[in-house]
Amino acid sequence: MRILKRHPLLWLYHGDELECEIKGTPNDIHKFIFELLKLLEKEAGNWINLNDIFISFTNYMFKLGKGVYIPASMEKGIQEICIDQNLTFKITSYEVSEDTSYADKPNTKVLMFGNEDVSPYDFNLGQSYIIAGEFTAERIK
């Protein structure tokens, strides 16, 4: 077991968030999705799913041009993917983590279960975890 103060699961609690508007139709929707999946694997170790960011590609994003929320750390990667796919990428708002609904939980941590030698905590391999503001342990004899 290990308590982690920095982890992709905590981006919701500690990370800045961007609202972005993506307009247009990708040159190759399959390549677009694949590049987004690769970016999420690289940046978040698959702890964040593509559906957590993009709800519905065809109706929600490309036709209506509605905003999507992304972690600020992924801005450059998503912007490069959009440029490659001939999409317009525009940041419409920037939300600092102190302004979110989780601002009252600045000490939130994740307790990760498992063996880091077998399944590293920075990559999602189905490890069990608990997110909380505080953990206490008591040894039972």
Return the pLDDT at 81. 94
Return the pLDDT at 77. 93
Please, what sign has the CA dihedral across residues 11, 14, 15, 17? Answer: positive
Residues with Cβ within 8 Å of 24's Cβ and at least 6 positions away in sequence, in order, are 62, 85, 86, 87, 88
Return the pLDDT at 79. 93
Return the pLDDT at 98. 56
Return the pLDDT at 23. 83
Q: Domain limits of the chain?
A: 1-15+100-141, 17-95
Give the residues of the chain that fall short of pLDDT 50: 99, 101
pTM, two decimals, is 0.74
75-84 and 29-44 helices, crossing angle to 10°:
160
